[in-house]
Copies of this chain bind each other. A is one copy, B any other.
Amino acid sequence: MSHVMDRLAEVVRRQMTPLCVGLDPRLDWLPRTLTAKHSDRVAACEEFCLRVLEIAAAQVGVVKPQSAFFELLGADGFRILRTVMHRARDLGLFTILDVKRGDISSTAAAYAEAAFDYFVADAVTVSPYLGRDSLDPFLEAARKKGRGLFVLVRTSNSGAGQFQDLCCGGKPLYEHVAEAVASWSKENVGALGFGDVGAVIGATRPEELRQLRRMLPGCWFLVPGYGAQGAAAGDVAGAFGSEGLGAVVNSSRGVVFPFQPADVDWEEKVERAMRRSAAELQVVAKMNRISSEIS
């Protein structure tokens, strides 16, 4: 069984870009060519997601379906999310299931089972507020199955600092969480030096990203906030370690909905938006330079 973060590095290297495609489907934004074809919008949503996955698989190594937008569709949405996760896996994509769960003991174990067994996620996002023992059931399940976690450390919303910046013993709360994540991650390190617990760190504060990169050299970062949320590619430069590894940068709306519902060429627009973001981030991560040095 390969280490989860070695598998992540492998797909990022293979596609030569740290871009992660965030799949947040919205019924109102679906292309009309699909809604016209199906009797209900949920079926159109499923086809949309699967077509976006095909386009993504040609260009990136990582996708991050956002559970909320599937849960919103009820039981059908849950079924579609499962189909999407399995298809992504079949396409060779590394899947991060974005659920930000956080609960205790047997409840946490139930969430872990849902994420890793039902949805076959490679990694899952979790919340740290309840402390390490609340993450143990997730970690146990992940380690048994070769999967991983991304723990919320510093989020990308403008009000993130309300609690995350509270100064506790000379440093902000998020640094305490970061140190904990670094220590948990060291418990199971892969061949490339990265542990199986990563950190979610928003792109919206470049200096913090740099500082956290120094603090957590053995942790992969999942970086939201790039694209539609406001951060530019240059803002995430500090997230990468050597060889352009150590971070995946998520874009959702910017690459999945770069079209109007009436556009018949929506697939080309998605393909182009992904290609542009993938290339932009390749440069920022210096993966193009590294590749030319290798070749």
Please give me the residue from chain B that is nearest to A74 by CB atom. Answer: B118
User: Given the complex of chains A and B, what is the CA–CA distance between A108 and B164 in angstroms?
Assistant: 18
Decide if A91 is an interface residue (CB 8 Å cutoff).
Answer: no
Q: Are B107 and A69 in contact (CB under 8 A)?
A: yes
Interface of chain A, main secondary structure:
helix
Residues in B neighbouring A111, C-beta threshold 8 A: 68, 71-72
Question: Given A107-B66, A111-B71: A166 and B163 within 8 A (CB)?
Answer: no
Q: Are B102 and A102 in contact (CB under 8 A)?
A: yes
Q: Are B177 and A104 in contact (CB under 8 A)?
A: no
User: Given the complex of chains A and B, what is the CA–CA distance between A274 and B176 in angstroms?
Assistant: 42
In A135-161, the 8 Å CB interface with B consists of: 152, 155-161
One of B68, B72, B134, B166 near A159 (C-beta < 8 A): B134
Q: Mark A250-263, 1 if CB is under 8 A from B, else 0.
A: 00000000000000
Q: Are B131 and A160 in contact (CB under 8 A)?
A: yes
Q: Are B173 and A132 in contact (CB under 8 A)?
A: no
What distance in Å separates the Cβ of A153 from its nearest Cβ neighbour in chain B? Answer: 10
Question: Given A74-B118, A129-B129, A176-B163: A155 and B104 within 8 A (CB)?
Answer: yes
Decide if A82 is an interface residue (CB 8 Å cutoff).
Answer: yes
Q: Are B72 and A113 in contact (CB under 8 A)?
A: yes
Number of copies of chain A assembled together: 2
Residues in B neighbouring A74, C-beta threshold 8 A: 78-79, 82, 114, 118
Decide if A105 is an interface residue (CB 8 Å cutoff).
Answer: yes
Residues in B neighbouring A108, C-beta threshold 8 A: 68
Q: Are B133 and A152 in contact (CB under 8 A)?
A: no
16 other A-B residue contacts (CB within 8 Å) besides A68-B110, A69-B107, A75-B76: A24-B107, A68-B111, A71-B111, A74-B114, A75-B82, A104-B155, A127-B127, A128-B129, A131-B157, A131-B161, A133-B162, A134-B159, A162-B180, A163-B176, A166-B169, A167-B168
Q: 10 nearest interchain CB pairs?
A: A133-B159, A131-B162, A68-B110, A75-B79, A131-B159, A166-B168, A104-B157, A75-B78, A78-B78, A168-B168
